Structure 1
C-alpha cells in the first residue's frame, strides 16, 4: 500500500488551552469540520483515538503543529514560555508514537534569537522536522530583518519553516472585512478568504525583502494549495520584474524553488491542477488539516488525483521524506 504522510495536522497543549486557545474550551462541544467530536478534545488527543482515526482513513504519519493562533500574538516572555511547554508536550507524544507522529517546533517569534535556539533544541534533541509560525507577529512579518536569525538558523539546520494563516491585523480587518454581520466578517476575514490572502502577502513580502537571496537554501511550507499564489505567478512576474525588485531571480522562481505546498483541506481538483502545472509534483505534499477537516476525505482526494502513480507517491510521502528526512 502507498505510504501517506500528512503535514498540517494540529494539536493543542494544556497551557495553550489555558491561554491563547481558551476560546476552544469555551466552545466545548463544537465539532471540527471533520464532523466528529469536540474540537478542543480532538486537538488535545495525541494518543490512541487519533491514531485509530488515522488508521481508519489510511494515514500513516502525522507531522503535528500547535493550532492557531499559536504564540505569535503574545509578548516575548509569554511566547517563550508557552512555546517551550507546547514543544515538550509534543515531544512526549512523538517519543510514545515515533512511527506515527513527528513534530514541527512552535517558535516564539517575538524573541528571534530565542526562537532560533528553540528550533535548534527541538531539531537536535527531539528530532523535530522544522519550525511552525502562525502568520504575522503582532503585525510584523518575516521580511522584517528583526526575524532573520530564525531564517538563518533554519537554513543552517536544513529544516523548513511553515507559515500558517492567522487573522489579519485588526486595522486590515476593519478596512477590508468589516461592515457585515459578525459571521460574514469572520468568514470573509479568515477561512473564507482573508487569512489565505494574508499568508500570500506574507510570502511575497518575504521574497521581495531579498530573504531568499540572503538564505538561498531556506525552504518554507505553505498550505491550502498555495494560498492563491499559483494562480498569480505569471502576473507577479509581469508586474514585479527583476528590474523593479532588484532580486537575483523572478518572483515565480522563488515560489517554484523555495516553497513547498500542501492540501490543507483544499480538496479541489481545479485548484490542485493549477498548482501542479505551476510548480510540478516535486513541490506538493499531502495534508488533511485535522481536526478541522476530514482525513478520510483528504485521502479520497489524494487517491483520485489525475496524476501518474509516480507523482501520487511523491505527493503522498516522497516529497515529505525528502524535505523532512522522514
Structure 2
C-alpha cells in the first residue's frame, strides 16, 4: 500500500539568509521555529537523509513545499527571482528522486502580477500545485489582485495550498503577548494563532466569491482544515450577506481538501468526516516539524472504516488532486 504525504517542508540556506537579513519590521519571527533540534538540517536536505527519514516513517512519496514564510516577506524585486530559484531547485530534487518526491511551487506573492506566470512556468517544470499564505504584507489573499492567480490555477488544474502564517504584529501585541518571548511566539503560531490566520484566509476567499467565479479551483488546508470545518455551519450565514451561490459548508465539501498535518487524532478524523467526505481528506506529516513514526502512522490508518477509505486517505486522493503517477 502506497503512502503519499503532501505537506513535507524544505528550505534553502540562501533564502533563509535573505529572510533573516530583512529589517525588523519586515522580518517573520516564525523563522525561529525552523531552527534547532535538527530542524534546519532536515529542511535543507533534499537527498539521502530525507529519503531515509521517509523510509523510517513508511512514506513512499512526499510532496515537498517551501517552509514558512516562503518568499512572502521579500520585496517584489527579490521575491520573483527567489521564487524562480526555489522552483528550479525543487524540480531538480524531483528529477533526482522521481519515484519518491514531487514538489509544490513557490510563488512571488509580493508581486501579484507575476504569480500566474510563475505558476505556469512551474507547472511546465513538473511541479504540482502551489503553496501560498493568507496575507502578504497587508494584502490579503482574497484581494482582487490575486484573481489572475486563481484563474490560472483553475485553468491548469493546480491546487493551491494555504499554509498558516504568523498573525500581523499589531494582532500579536494585543492577543498573543504578555508571556515570555518563546511562549508568545508559540501561542501566535503553531499553538493557535496561525491556524486562525489560515482558516480566515480560506473563509475570506469564499466570502469574496472566488469559488463562484472559479468553480474548478481547489484549495488545500492542513491541520484538519485550520478550524474552518469546526465553524462552517456558523459561518454559513455569510452566504446570504455576501450574495454567494453556495453556503460555506457546500464550498468546503466541493472546493477544499483537508490534510492531517501529522495530527493523527481519531477524534479530529471523525469530526472532519461529519462535515465533508473521505474523498476530501489526505495524509501529511508536516515534516520535519512533526515526525510520526511508522508504527504511529500504521495505527492511525487502522482506524478507517474500509480499505477503500484508507486507500483514499493514504494516497488515492492525493494522486487525483496532484496528478501524481510513478510513486513507488
TM-score range, shorter chain: over 0.9
Query: Does 1:303 find its partner at 2:301?
Result: yes
Deviation of the 1:311 alpha carbon = 0.4
Give the superposition deviation at 1:180.
2.2
Count of paired positions: 316
Quick check: 1:134 aligned with 2:140?
no
| Contact 1:64–1:102 under 8 Å retained in 2 | yes
What secondary structure is seen at the aligned counterpart in 2 of 1:20?
Answer: helix
Aligned pairs (5 A) from 1:59-78: 59-78=59-78
Q: Deviations over 1:222-250 (max 9, x none)?
A: 1000111111122122x32x322200111
Contact 2:264/2:297 (8 A) holds in 1: no
Unaligned segments of structure 2, at least 5 residues: 22-28
Aligned-pair distance for 1:24? 9.7
Question: Distance between the aligned counterparts of 2:167 and 2:151, measured in 1?
Answer: 26
- Give me the whole-angstrom Cα distance separating, in 1, the residues matched to 2:181 and 2:268: 28
Q: CA deviation at 1:28?
A: 9.2
Specify the alignment match of 1:101 in structure 2: 101
SS at match of 2:113: helix
Matched, 1:30 2:58: no
* Rounded Cα–Cα distance in structure 1 between residues aligned with 2:20 and 2:178: 27
Match of 1:221 in 2: 220
* Distance in 2 between residues matched to 1:99 and 1:169, nearest whole Å: 39
1:178-189 map, 5 Å: 178-189=177-188
2:102 is paired with a residue whose SS is strand
d(CA) in 2 for partners of 1:99 and 1:213? 36
Tell me the secondary structure at the aligned position of residue 19 of structure 1: helix
| Deviation of the 1:151 alpha carbon | 0.6
1:169-219: CA deviations, max 9, x gaps?
Answer: 111111211222222211211110000011111111110001111111000
Check conservation: 1:25, 1:40, Cα contact below 8 A.
no
**Aligned counterpart, 1:160:** 159
Query: Helix, strand or coil for the counterpart of 2:136?
Result: coil
Question: Retained in 1: the 8 A contact 2:30–2:185?
Answer: no
Matched, 1:111 2:111: yes
TM value normalised by structure 2? 0.92
Cα displacement string for residues 235-266 of structure 1 (whole angstroms, at most 9, x for unaligned residues)? 122x32x3222001111111111100001122
Q: SS of the residue aligned with 2:317?
A: helix
Match of 2:247 among 250, 254, 260: 250
Offset of residue 295 of structure 1? 4.1
CA offsets 1:3-25 (integer angstroms, 9 cap, x no match): 11100000012321222267899
In the alignment, which residue of structure 2 is the partner of 1:82? Answer: 82
Determine the structure 2 residue equivalent to 1:15: 14
Structure-1-length-normalised TM-score: 0.92
Q: Is the 8 A contact 2:30 2:68 kept in 1?
A: no
Distance 2:234 2:106 in 1: 34
Work out whether residues 213 and 247 of structure 1, in 8 Å CA contact, stay in contact via their aligned partners in 2.
Answer: yes
Aligned 8 A contact 1:130 1:324 in 2: yes
Deviating more after overlay: 228-237 vs 101-110: 228-237
Moved more, 171-180 or 42-51: 171-180
